[in-house]
Chains A and B, each alone.
Chain A
Amino acid sequence: MSKAIFEAFDGYQGIVDEIDFSRKHGVDYTVYRDSVDQQINLLHPSRISLRVSDIIVESPSTKTLRFVSQDGYLPPFLAGQYIAFFLEVGGVRTRRPYSLSSPPNQTGYYDITVRRVERGRVSNYLLDEARRGDILEGSGPSGHFYFNPVFHDRTQVCLAGGSGITPFMSMIREAVECGLDRTFYLFYGNKTLDEAIFHDELGRLSGRFQNIIYVPVIENPPGGYAGATGLITGDLIMKTIGDVADKTFYLCGPQGMYDFCVPELQRMGVPLRKIRREIYGPPAHIWEDPAWPREIKAEDHFRVRVAGGKPIDARAGEPLLTALENAGLRVPSLCRSGECSMCRIKILSGKVFQPAGVPVRKSDRQFGYVHACVSFPIEDLEILT
């Protein structure tokens, strides 16, 4: 059929005139070039070049690294968000997320606060090797652990464990520095008192501002310690906050803290929708998961073939992502806790163990996709990155 039949449709000439007119006064799209990327980079750059401008010793085991932008621009973030660093440590390219501990109103720099951890390859590298003037590559700010004014309560009950204090530092600093209409109850659990990062600053802020209530909770207190001791229990929380109405609860710390505190909160009558949990890395001892296959040992090794290539070696007790990185493969990642889906890979054959509750899309499950950062090999695998 000749396409030209539409030339006989009523109103055809009017359309032709409209086309002539709109082209004559049209848009010059040649100038668009990479304008989309440039616009998005203001908010969500895939990479930022950061220079260590200062290193602040917080405690014998903890340092704050302060970063300024090499090109002078730092994208905005929400208190509680993290950035990931892209590093090469011991000849292995890897990435690690760190919550920003500086407040978002401080637009000149980003702070991250790092504590020494057992087998913490990257954290220990940052503590021991990073020097002023070093340049590190980082991601743009990311993450969903922040105050959302649309549906969170203005009274925030925060439960922190160990280095899980960092996102709350950003939130509390922002609140006091900007005079925000928010109240913080901060329960901060540590094994010993001298492990409590920012203890002095939090004590000072709590003394000065009525809306900052700081409750350190020490598991093994020194003799004669007058403050709260043991774990962060429902009773302690209730005694401090009075009632659970009009309050949103935020948790950031190791898995053990969630396992203990979430049931405590529920026992207090806090509905699940009021409980916000920050991600905190892959489970450290996955083989202790109740669903872990008993016949598999943490030290068992499996062979992983990537897209038909040479097999690489992977340990059952270690996230598949780590094995891939150790073998020199480049797999993108951000949160390394199962949430962001950046390290999504396809399992062609073999099985991995995934802890319960990892947010994997339904159809990804159907077609064999997993998040490599929280997948543990329990058979020989063939995968597609």
Chain B
Amino acid sequence: MEAYDAVVIGAGNGGLTAAAGLAQKGLKVLLLERHNIPGGCATSFCRGRFEFEVALHQLSGMGTTERPGPLRMLLASLGVLEDLTFVEMKDLFSVSMTDGFRLTLRADKDQVISELEQRFPHEKAAIHQFFDLVYAYANNMLAAFFFKDPAPSREKYPVLYSHAFKPASEVLDEIFTDPLLKGLLSVYWGYLGLPPNRLSFAYLAMLLFVYIEFKPFHIKGGSQALSNAILNRFLSNGGTARFNGGAKRIIVENGAVQGVVTDDGDRIQTEHVVSNASQITTYAQLMDRENIPDQVFTEMGGRSLSPSAFTLFVGFDCEPGELGITGSTNFLIDSFEFDDRIFSRMRSVDITDETMVLSCYDVADPDFSPAGACQANIVTLKYGEPWMRIPPARYHSVKFQCAESMLRRVEAIFPGVRTHIEELEAATPLTHMRYLGHPEGAIYGFEQYTKDSMFFQPGRYAPIEGLYFASGWIGDCGFQPTLNAGMSAAKSILKKLDAA
């Protein structure tokens, strides 16, 4: 029987860094992936002369070579930095509304504040108060947790103690009166999947902080370049990767991992499994119920599935400027009420005036698409469940209708885009479900309520010896957190082996 020190199930961000992190330390590692290409979300596909980026909008945590952020350090430790070229985005984001409102915020604290002061003079003091609070929270959080203060206290970290569990909308309502300004400052909720009335202030504050301090980045060749680079390092460190076939079963005996059965029926012996699949799939599909303590399903049952997304990938036969697109990251917004209407829109299939993000990578990286052309990735969050109720025979026409509605919304802000379309592909929640294997196509895994944050959930650990998780399902979602999750899983295994 084939034997490995560890088997990693899934070559998404978390699976890749886990596998590469273990192989780098000399472990014999097998990486299994159902698809024919590594990356999971971090991938691309070709249509005509375009290569479309699937998931990466703004990479966080990179920082510069002079002032590296945590992600740059992580990638350096894996030895993949020299294989990649990162492109800094100068803007945090632009916001566009159908009434003609336009605003662009540069990725710099002072410039963000001065721009907002100019546009919202009646909220001048509040703007300063808000950013002071965001920075105080982030610094409290980093000192207490990232730098692991051995004796934290409310006196040392007052903002952490008072704001960690507060909803974002409550904080914004306390500080601001202008609903537009509140909407602008919480527009990143889309990267986290929960509207501001349900999202914790902690998430919003940390996201604003890392993007401003470490700048948003993109990658030459897109996120697939990152996935390919990590896989390449894994292979050159002696790792074995198998594509077009995942894991069928995780073998558990006496509460400990004993092996894995692959889709091809091969039995692999191992005492360590890192699952890059969701906990739902791992526990409910890959393992026998009798090997799983009831507590696992009780704990998981309290969590809900995040939205999926409806995404349009459009290739244009002209440069971004000709379409009126001047920013890399454009939020299209028309409604700023922090109420559950946002939620009910996400629960319906059709598209009307949803908030969406349009990313045009060619603005920051003119080589991204072929010369004289550009592409846009336009996404709005939609729960997958209503899509599962569409009869298969109706699926394609519903998909086209939604694509048409989304394009109309884009046209209302960037008129004339339709006359330049060369390629157009839509991805529905079922598409995300197909390629990620996530229940209901949930792109962010479980929803990220405060109750689901790292303080209250098992994270990468399982009550089965040798089983670890590394994915967006175990806590925070997004590129930086999932890449980090894989490294943490690898470290846990290495630590356990060291102790033995």
Report if A22-B302 is in contact (Cβ < 8 Å); known contacts: A10-B162, A272-B317.
yes
A6 and B162: CB pair below 8 A? no
Residue among A15, A42, A107, A151 making CB contact with B450, cutoff 8 Å: A15
Q: Decide if A305 is an interface residue (CB 8 Å cutoff).
A: no
> For chain B residues 202-245, which have a beta carbon within 8 Å of chain A?
220-222, 224-225, 227-229, 231-232, 235, 244
Instruction: List 27 A-B residue pairs with CB atoms under 8 Å apart, sorted by A's residue number.
Output: A1-B149, A5-B152, A10-B161, A10-B166, A11-B164, A12-B165, A15-B450, A18-B449, A19-B451, A19-B456, A26-B300, A27-B301, A28-B301, A30-B284, A44-B434, A75-B392, A76-B396, A149-B404, A150-B400, A150-B424, A151-B424, A272-B317, A344-B37, A361-B221, A362-B221, A362-B224, A366-B221
A30 and B297: CB pair below 8 A? yes
- Top 7 A-B residue pairs of the complex, sorted by shortest distance between their CB atoms: A26-B301, A359-B46, A363-B225, A23-B302, A11-B165, A273-B422, A22-B302
> Which of A33-41, A92-100, A111-119, A197-205 binds B?
A33-41
Q: Decide if B281 is an interface residue (CB 8 Å cutoff).
A: yes
B451 and A39: CB pair below 8 A? no
Q: Decide if A271 is an interface residue (CB 8 Å cutoff).
A: yes
User: Interface on A for B, CB 8 Å cutoff?
Assistant: 1, 3, 5-6, 8-12, 14-15, 18-19, 22-23, 26-36, 39-40, 42-44, 75-76, 78, 107, 144, 148-151, 271-273, 332, 339, 341-342, 344, 359-364, 366-367, 369, 384
Tell me which residues across on chain A come within 8 A of B224, comparing CB atoms.
361-364
* B448 CB → nearest A CB, Å: 13
Report if A32-B280 is in contact (Cβ < 8 Å); known contacts: A10-B165, A342-B36.
yes
B297 and A29: CB pair below 8 A? yes
Q: Decide if B144 is an interface residue (CB 8 Å cutoff).
A: yes
Report if A9-B161 is in contact (Cβ < 8 Å); known contacts: A23-B301, A39-B430, A362-B221.
yes
A148 and B285: CB pair below 8 A? no
Tell me which residues across on chain B come within 8 A of A3, comparing CB atoms.
455
> For chain B residues 341-372, which have a beta carbon within 8 Å of chain A?
none
Report if A8-B161 is in contact (Cβ < 8 Å); known contacts: A22-B451, A341-B36, A362-B225.
yes
B225 and A366: CB pair below 8 A? yes
> For chain B residues 396-426, which have a beta carbon within 8 Å of chain A?
396, 400, 403-404, 407, 418, 420-422, 424-426
A148 and B400: CB pair below 8 A? yes
B37 and A33: CB pair below 8 A? no
B47 and A29: CB pair below 8 A? no
Report if A29-B283 is in contact (Cβ < 8 Å); known contacts: A36-B438, A341-B36.
yes
Residue of B nearest to A342 (CB): B36
Residue among A1, A34, A271 making CB contact with B317, cutoff 8 Å: A271
Residue of B nearest to A34 (CB): B285
Residue of B nearest to A17 (CB): B451
The CA of A270 and the CA of B224, in the complex, are separated in Å by 33
The CA of A35 and the CA of B433, in the complex, are separated in Å by 11
The CA of A342 and the CA of B37, in the complex, are separated in Å by 9
Tell me which residues across on chain A come within 8 A of B433, comparing CB atoms.
36, 39-40
Residue among A78, A148, A272, A362 making CB contact with B51, cutoff 8 Å: A362
Residue among A11, A32, A364, A366 making CB contact with B285, cutoff 8 Å: A32
B284 and A367: CB pair below 8 A? no
A273 and B421: CB pair below 8 A? yes
The CA of A271 and the CA of B316, in the complex, are separated in Å by 12
* A13 CB → nearest B CB, Å: 10
Known: A30-B283, A43-B392. 16 other contacts (CB 8 A): A1-B144, A1-B151, A15-B451, A19-B451, A22-B304, A22-B451, A23-B298, A26-B298, A26-B300, A33-B285, A39-B388, A76-B392, A76-B395, A78-B396, A359-B47, A362-B221
B424 and A148: CB pair below 8 A? yes
B451 and A18: CB pair below 8 A? yes
Per-residue CB contact flags for chain B residues 280-321 toward chain A (1 = under 8 Å, else 0) read: 110111000100000001111111100000000000010000
B148 and A150: CB pair below 8 A? no
Residue among A9, A36, A76, A369 making CB contact with B160, cutoff 8 Å: A9
